[in-house]
Amino acid sequence: MGVEGIGARVARKEDKRFLTGKGRYTDDMSVPGMKYAIFVRSPHAHAKIKSIDATAAKAMPGVIDVLDGKQLTADGIGNLICGWMIHSKDGSPMKMGAWRPLADETVRYVGDAVAVVVADGVNEARDAAEAVIVDYDPLPVVTDPVKALADGQPQLHPEAPNNLIFDWELGDAAATDAAIAAAAHVTEVKILNNRLSPNAMEPRAALGIYDSGDDHYTCYTTSQNPHLARLVMSAFYNVAPENKLRVIAPDVGGGFGSKIYIYPEEIVCLWASKRTGVPVKWTCDRTEAFLTDAHGRDHVSTVKMAFDSSNKITALKVDTIANLGAYMSLFSSCVPTYLYATLLSGQYDIPAIHANVRTVYTNTAPVDAYRGAGRPEATYLLERTMETAARELGLSPAELRRINFIRTFPHQTPVIMNYDAGDYEASLNAAMAAADWDGFAARKAEAERRGMKRGIGMSCYIEACGLAPSSAVGSLGAGVGLWESAEVRVNAVGTIEVMTGSHSHGQGHETTFAQLVADRFGVPIDSVNIVHGDTDKVQMGMGTYGSRSGAVGMSAVAKALDKVEAKAKKIAAHLMEADESDIVIENGELKVAGTDKSVPWFQMALAAYTAHNLPAGMEPGLKEGAFYDPSNFTFPAGCYICEVEVDPDTGKTEIVQFVAADDFGNIINPMIVEGQVHGGLAQGIGQALLEGVHYDPDNGQLLTASYQDYAMPRADDLPSFKVSTSNTPCPNNPLGVKGCGEAGAIGSPPALINAITDAIGNNALTMPATPEKVWAAAHAAN
């Protein structure tokens, strides 16, 4: 591996810039003549817009213009769309209601944009935004997804009677029902998955620049996938054709999924720049972020899990209602379907599974993928159910899981996925050893003497990452392919630039991708630059989400490196008059194996560009590109164990130990992997213990619109994590990597809730497990 190659704990190259305040974020961008946008947003969760009067606002100092939805519609800007088609079980396509970047007739959630003010400064724009008079005719509101499906409720979109977007199923209903009818035991639970706000540290922002000379647009924006943004803005929103639109996502301070989507604001900034003739910048404030960033999760499910007399699972039946909010965001439809129901087999050999999913419109912010996206929902449901079943069956949680683990690979589940590799028992054993599971009884007794209730819980998760084989997702309704692309450019002096379609917004690609190159050619990582986030610099890309950058993005780089390596060897062989099959690359030199002949890497590169002495017929230069389309998903898996102490007087939970044993396949940089796990755990623990978006059910006002009311996890809410990995390489990509970005957020919530319910002796507890809920549940148990 070398000191900087694959597997090395290399410090992050990008951190110097981030830690010294030299990061370059969208809001740092400034261009001559730039003006500022402020959006006029609906204070109502549901209303008809009767009129918009901007006369006074337009006359205010510093105001360039005030634009509204009617003008946007007149200019032919398209609707925001959901890019993954799901069909209901009756064959009908999902009911996509119109989402206008600026609402022109109806507003459907608090924060829906209705107009934009462009002014010399942010303050002038804000003053004018307050002066825009919007006359609303308020309509009744529904925020609860179960209620929204009932008759007689407020209707959000005429296309979707009873607010039903689709009623979809996966799996064999008849076989599942038959197995449940024949079961020795059936565990039934109701599972709620709370709604979350993504809270990236950097709020969203956009800078739209229209150049009338070239009829060309540039958009700086906080995106996890600039090429996808360009594609969607061109193909669907009619902002500009792709060759006339450059999208740049510079440094981006966290996304967690919320920056995958194309939001109204970047479209409006581009359009407004053309309308006003000036570059237009918008930066979200924190309140706007709470109101308008796509939220995550929000499921209501009922579960039946059937067992035979030897405690083997015979069937799983799931009915889920998923709240998608007021509009269908870009990937909203695939999250509660193909990223969720396909994972319901978990780590277990389950012969029959049936899942029914109904998605629903409500007067709330759109809901889409958030760290884990569908897989946390599946894992929480399954692992809470397993824990409940173990308690009902009188088995230890580990024993019930061991009885049901999948042990041979490949394994075809009844819900599409074909698991390629794994060793679930290895992770379970590692986690139990690290957690000193056997010593728990003594620790519990000791806590009891202090008046504390101690509990332990586990969760065995699996996720499908490395999104995704294009033909597979295409057959399931995806509107795009999920390959990745890379270019490797070796300069004449031997330094290397890698242009990747992956996008780093905290993941550390500038380090790990460089490690891949260093590993291959034995060059220092400082001689390797990773270029990403600019559609003019990077050929093509699908961006970063779904833990895909390692498995898919780096595999594309590896393929390009193969081509560079082959050509480099040809050149070196020619220079040394050797056979190319004898050339080996080591420590920055190309050597003839078994001799002392060698050419330094830089000399070979120079030869490629001077082209004075190349093999006959060879093109000059050394630059290669590749597209990589994975042949399967990857399947990271692991076991998490959480130990808690609950104060029975207050219901406060303290996490006294958290163990994570993961199987991520091969690891490029263990330090970065640990960081990803730590961050994921913090978010998962946040979901389970603290976080929750609340709307007032009567008027749809967002009650958790600031950190005064939305509880984010802080360092002192978290223990020191014990993380370890035991890795089975992924057989389906050249690097054997699986992905580690989401695991922590996927696996941790059920472990924590299982531990708390164990401590208090009451299984009825929902997330977030606030002190009051835990206190009430603990007292109900006694």
Partner 1 sequence: MYQTNYHRPSSVQEAAKLMSGATEGKYLAGGMTLIATMKQRLAAASDLVDLRHIAEMKGITVNGRSVRIGAATTHHEVASSAELGAVCPAICALASHIGDPHVRHMGTIGGSIANNDPAADYPAAMLALDAKIITNSREIAAADFFTGLFETALDDGEIITAITFDAPAKVAYQKFPNPASRYAMAGVFVARRDNGDVRVAVTGAGSNGVFRHQGMEAALAGNWSPDAVGNVSVDASDLLTDLHASAAYRANLIKVMTKRAVAAA
Positions touching partner 1 (CB under 8 A) are 123, 126-127, 130, 287, 649-652, 689-690, 694, 703-704, 707-712, 770-772, 775-776
Give the shortest CB-147-to-partner 1 separation in angstroms.
19
CB of 765 to partner 1, least distance (A): 15
How far lies 68's CA from each of 75, 112, 129, 444, 710, in Å?
A: 11, 12, 12, 62, 32
| Closer Cβ to partner 1, 285 or 399, answer by number | 285
The DSSP call for residue 158 is: T
Give the three-state DSSP class for 15: helix
Of 30 and 708, nearer to partner 1 (C-beta) is 708
- Based on CB atoms, which residue is closest to partner 1, 83 or 700? 700
Q: Tell me the C-alpha to C-alpha distance, in Å, between residue 358 and each of 63, 87, 471, 698, 780.
A: 46, 11, 25, 23, 33
Q: Which is nearer to partner 1, 41 or 505 (CB)?
A: 41
625 or 771: whose CB is closer to partner 1? 771
Phi, psi of 486 (to 5 degrees): -150, 155
Q: How far apart are CA 527 and CA 514, in angstroms?
A: 9
Assign residue 7 a region (left: φ > 0; alpha: ψ between -120 and 50; beta: otherwise).
left
User: Within a 10 A sphere around the Cβ of 758, how many other Cβ atoms?
Assistant: 25
Q: DSSP string spanning 741-775?
A: SSHHHHHHHHHHHHHHHHHHT-----SS--HHHHH
> Least distance (Å) from partner 1 to the CB of residue 94?
33
In this structure, what token pair is assigned to residue 94?
């999902």
Report which of 639, 145, 191 is spatially closest to residue 380, judged by C-alpha positions: 191
CA dist 116 and 118 (Å) reads 7
Residue written as token pair 């034995």 = 522
Q: How many residues does the chain have?
A: 782
In the bound state with partner 1, the residue whose beta carbon lies nearer, of 192 and 606, is 192
CA 444 to each of CA 520, 596, 641, 651: distance values in angstroms, whole numbers, following the listed order = 51, 66, 15, 17
Look at residues 301, 340, 298 and name the one whose alpha carbon lies nearest to residue 319. Answer: 301
Nearest CA-CA partner of 550 in 426, 684, 727: 727
Report in angstroms how near the CB of residue 293 gets to partner 1 at its nearest: 18
Q: In whole angstroms, give the CA distance from residue 216 to residue 234.
A: 12
Q: What is the C-alpha to C-alpha distance for residues 223 and 207, in angstroms, rounded to an integer?
A: 12
Question: Which residue's CB is nearer to partner 1, number 16 or number 286?
Answer: 286
Nearer to partner 1, 123 or 595 (CB): 123
| Beta-bridge partner residues of 280 | 35, 208
Q: Compute the least distance from the CB of residue 121 to partner 1, in Å.
A: 12
Spatial separation of the C-alpha atoms in residues 300 and 190, rounded to whole Å: 8
Output 130 or 619, the one with its CB closest to partner 1: 130
Look-up of token digits 């909010």? 325
Provide the pairing of β-strand 216-221 with 245-248: parallel
Bridge partners of residue 418, in order along the sequence:
412
Nearer to partner 1, 153 or 287 (CB): 287
Answer for the pair 755, 642: CB distance below 8 angstroms, yes or no.
Answer: yes
Q: 293 or 624: whose CB is closer to partner 1?
A: 293
- CA atoms of 410 and 420, how far apart (whole Å): 5
With CA atoms as reference, report the closest residue to 580 among 595, 593, 568, 570.
Answer: 570
Closest CA to 169 of 415, 402, 370: 415
Shortest approach of partner 1 to residue 621 CB, angstroms? 54
CB atoms within 10 A of CB 551: 31
627: tokens are 């597209």
**For residues 399 and 696, which CB has a smaller minimum distance to partner 1 in the complex?**
696
Query: What is the distance of C-alpha 98 from the center of its chain?
Result: 25
Q: Is the dihedral of CA 473, 474, 475, 479 positive or negative?
A: positive
Q: Which residue type does 538 have? A: V
